Amino acid sequence: MAATTASIGFVGLGHMGGNMAARLLGAGYTVYGEERHREHAENLVDSGLRWCNTPRDIAVTADVIFTSVPDDTALEEVAASPHGILAGLSLGKTWVEMSTVSPEASRELAQRARWRGATMLDAPVSGSVPQVKAGTLTIMVGGPEHAYDLVEPVLRELGTPVHIGPNGQGLVLKLAINISLAVQMLAFAEGLLLAEKSGVDRQRALDVMTASSIGSPMVKARASIIFDLPDEAWFPISFMQKDIELARDAGRQLDLSLPTTDRADEILEQARAMGYEHRDLAAVFELLEQLATERGRAA
């Protein structure tokens, strides 16, 4: 059982945020929560979550405020609206922002939090819903070290936190990781399709490939769903492409060439155009299979 001296507030109780809030409730923390659609959080309320009506109410009530939202636009809305987090921040509050957003947007919000006497950390995570539930996320934290030390015990309930550096650097590292996530999945799908089309039994190819030196934790985790995609994506293609585009933006600002990132972005854009936007990243195999079939018909 964790220490419960700090009260926790969660804004954004979707698949990731909701499961993180559930873990902290299970660890004995007092957890307040807010979500645009309350019906999505009723199971958490039944488990002891204390409901708040606005992000501002969360910031006023909790000692440590967590946010987990899809993108820059959603973050600006929950942060800067009249009933947003910034309106409720005060001296000594700590805001842990766990979304994957642009480093620039995060740094700007961190400055606005400082003007109110509060401290903001960017703390994006590597891992999907299974890792949240197991408490095995990798958490990359950017921001002042004293604030990191304060919230590190809370973050350990969710996984393994690491302090990376100043504000924004946790997000930069998260984008660097997600480049590899997208490119790995695409390369694995290409190899699997090549084996299958060459006459190798697809399940045997999958088993051998995942057991080989290319069987990363991400690849092994998705081996169970690549031929039978779940109705509820672990990590939707739309989110993956958003992160890849953020990485490309960061590369352009540094005048860096990111050729595999550019190619992954093209494939993900094609996947979205073909209706895979809300499917898990593992759907790139099905996409490549569909494209191969269409080329065969056209030949």
Q: What's the chain's length in residues?
A: 299
The total of other beta-carbon atoms located within 10 Å of residue 289's CB is: 16
Beta-bridge partners for 36: none
Tokens of 225: 């769903």
Q: Please, what is the end-to-end C-alpha distance for the chain in angstroms?
A: 63
Residue 174 designated active-site: yes
Q: Is 89 exposed, middle or buried (0-12, 13-18, 19+ CB in 10 A)?
A: buried
Ramachandran category for residue 244: left, alpha or beta (phi over 0 → left; psi -120 to 50 → alpha): alpha
Among residues 93, 133, 174, 242, which one is catalytic?
Answer: 174
Is 131:139 a contact under the CB 8 Å cutoff?
Answer: no
Going from the C-alpha of 27 to that of each of 21, 124, 173, the distances in angstroms are 10, 21, 28
Report which of 252, 245, 221, 248 is spatially closest to residue 235, judged by C-alpha positions.
221
Residues known to be catalytic: 174
